[in-house]
Amino acid sequence: MIKDYIYLKTPKIASLITQINTYRDLFEKIPKLPHIQENLLRKSTLKSSLYSARIEGNRLEMTDVEFGGIQNREKREVFQIFDGLKFARSFKGRTTKEFITRNG
């Protein structure tokens, strides 16, 4: 681990920072389309669910869970994690141990 890294703000670094800021500003001005945002959120949540299940030994790939119904134990496992993540995102209040045990 580097503790005392020192860098110089070179013209190249300054140019790259300017480009990043310009692209960020342009991106923020693009209209937000709810159906696209929902699709991106669904895909990222599904991907996160799949990778969480894979840590536990699930062998499915993204293409296995993107389409089709729940047909086997491994798919059910992924979609149970998916449903849990959706529930956690939908809850706006503070999550407590009591809330989890009451609703779990």
pLDDT tens per residue, range 17-50: 999 999 999 999 988 899 998 999 999 999 999 9
Q: What is the pLDDT of residues 55-71, one digit of tens each?
A: 999 999 998 888 766 67
pLDDT of 68 reads 65
Mean pLDDT value across the chain: 87
How many CB atoms are located within 10 Å of the residue 82 CB?
Answer: 20
Task: Tell me the one-letter amino acid at 13.
Answer: I
Cβ-in-10-Å burial (0-12, 13-18, 19+) of 52 comes to middle
